[in-house]
Amino acid sequence: MSGLIKKDLLIIKANIKTILIIAFIFVFNSSKMLFMLPFLCVMFLITTFSYDDFNNWHAYAITFPSGRKNIVKSKYILTIIIIIFSILATGLITAIIDHTKGNFDFDQTLSSLFGCILAISIIVSIMYPLIFKFGVEKGRIILFVIIFSISLMGSFLISSNVLLTFLQNVDKYAIILLPVITISLLLISYFISLKVYLKKEF
Amino acid sequence: MKNAIEVKNLVKEYKDFKLDNINLEIKKGCIVGLIGENGAGKTTLIKSLLNIIKISKGNIKIFDKDYIKNEQIIKDDIGVVLDNMFFPEILSPKDINLIMKDIFKKWDEQIFNKYLKDFGLSKNKKIKEMSKGMRKKLEIATALSHHPKLLILDEPTSGLDPVVRSEVLDIFLNFIQNEENTILLSTHITSDLENIADHIVFIDNGKKVLDKSRDDIIDNYGILKCDIKYFDKIDKNDIVKYKKNKYDCQILVDNINEIRNKYKDCIIDKITLDDLMVLMVKGEK
């Protein structure tokens, strides 16, 4: 399976210039924009799926001894690695920049990072099963519809104040809740993807 | 182990196409050529063997083992070249080497590098910058570099010029020299098969219509060409398939020596696989 993860890392490496350029633009703009970095990384994870689809990699990879299960698993493991790495990098850079400016707020940075992790986990968990089922192109359209309906629902919840009171209460337990929520989201998503992928034909 | 691949009553149904009850035995140590029209089911058969698509019915054994239950063990010993299915094109041969090292137990970096050199492929060139022929060569090099026992190749020589094609065919011939290794390849370039295949399997419209050794086909099949008026004089039992033109007709026969004695005033030519394919598909019975 390490070979499969390596393949995606090499694709990301081939795109590294673009990632770094965009990252620098963010940093020079404003350190608050840095929180876009993890989302950017997820975007590049999704481009690995695009390359896969474009060259029918999946059909080819199935002829390897790795097996279908590991093809799915490798994507999720890579995603977790990338999330951890990008969050750590973002936190570190933010801390350094804010510290030199003398306005570093530990609690705020931490909660922003937590927010990032949660948002990314939700996006990934919804998106991957869709991509495994429909491919990147079709999956993207379906994701758009889903995000649109979620945000519609969200704006309704916010306007009705239900979510706000909920979030205020949840904040205290965030450190315990966050890993639990993130891991269960990704696990559920993984099992759905796996079920889809084991049956899929190429 | 006598057979590298054993297929029993394989059925794969699509809405508009059916691979119909295919039985196939591919003996160890052979090169077996799979021929047929575009859309006849060659790729469907190959994809079924590799579990890229799920079969509707039937039974497949590779190296005497069930192809699903022992999938991982089996696939360690299979090398493939598939039509339009390969590594993401942003990667280079160097990347492929790094990846394959972790995928196949027996991946041989030295052999891979040797093939790259023999084929004149640069290690750092991205696949997307390669010509179609270079990509094919890279795919073949990749398929051969983990010391597989079975090669499953879908159109491996398409896009290659005659010089490289003969080079590749030599590699294939070399590959089966040890009598342990086996090759199943599909192709449109039937002259390749006339040179290297031991056995020909012909699929038409999802059905297997011919499964014979190359020598059997070359020695016994022929085309009888005669005037259209003469057609009625020919015994119907001697006709495998026939094709009538305006003035003459071509008749496919499967026992050329007897036919030569029987119809002494007709021209009877030896068959090429191309003619065989055309007559089998387009000819009437």
Chain pair A-B, CB pairs under 8 angstroms: 92
Q: From the list B50, B54, B71, which residue is nearest A67 (CB)?
A: B71
Q: How confident is the model at residue A174 (pLDDT cuts 50, 70, 90)?
A: low
Q: Which of A44-48, B177-181, B206-210 has the lowest mean pLDDT?
A: A44-48
Give tens-digit pLDDT for A16-60: 888 788 777 776 666 566 677 777 778 888 889 999 999 999 999
Q: Interface pTM (ipTM) of the complex?
A: 0.90
Contacts of B105 (CB under 8 A, 6+ apart): A65, B76, B146
pLDDT for residue A165 is more than 70: no
Percentage with pLDDT > 70 across chain A: 85
Ramachandran angles phi, psi of B55, nearest 5° = -80, 150
Q: With a CB-CB cutoff of 8 Å, which residues 213-232 of chain B face chain A?
A: none
Amino acid present at B270: K
In this prediction, residue B192 carries a pLDDT of 86
In this prediction, residue B227 carries a pLDDT of 83
| Shortest alpha-carbon distance between residue A8 and chain B (Å) | 9
Give tens-digit pLDDT for B11-27: 999 999 999 999 999 99
Give tens-digit pLDDT for B116-134: 999 999 999 999 999 988 9
In this prediction, residue B142 carries a pLDDT of 96
Q: With a CB-CB cutoff of 8 Å, which residues 64-83 of chain B face chain A?
A: 71-73, 75-76, 78, 80, 82
Mark yes or no for CB contact A65/B101 under 8 Å. Answer: no
Q: From the list A15, A55, A66, which residue is nearest B103 (CB)?
A: A66
Percentage with pLDDT > 90 across chain B: 61
Name which of A6, A13, A16, A60 to mutate to probe chain B: the one with the most chain B Cβ atoms within 10 A of its Cβ: A60
Most confident region among A103-117, B21-35, B238-252, B262-276 by mean pLDDT = B21-35
In this prediction, residue B256 carries a pLDDT of 86
Look at the block and give the residue holding tokens 């004089």. Answer: B233
Mark yes or no for CB contact A201/B102 under 8 Å. Answer: no
Using an 8 Å CB-CB cutoff, list residues of chain A that contact chain B.
Answer: 1-4, 6-7, 10-11, 14-15, 48, 51-52, 54-57, 59-60, 62-67, 199, 201-202
pLDDT for residue A163 is more than 60: no
Q: From the list B53, B73, B80, which residue is nearest A201 (CB)?
A: B53
Residue closest to B194 by CA, chosen among B33, B24, B28: B33
pTM of the shown model = 0.88
> Following DSSP, what letter does each residue of B26-85 receive, concatenated?
EETT-EEEEE--TTSSHHHHHHHHTTSS--SEEEEEETTEETTTTHHHHHTTEEEEBTTB
Residue closest to B54 by CA, chosen among B19, B25, B83: B19
Q: From the list B86, B103, B126, which residue is nearest A64 (CB)?
A: B103
Arithmetic mean of pLDDT, B207-213: 92
Residues A44 and A22: beta-carbon distance below 8 Å: no
Whether B88 has its CB under 8 Å from any CB of chain A: the answer is yes
Partners of residue B241 on adjacent β-strands:
B252
Residues of B in contact with A19 (CB under 8 A): none
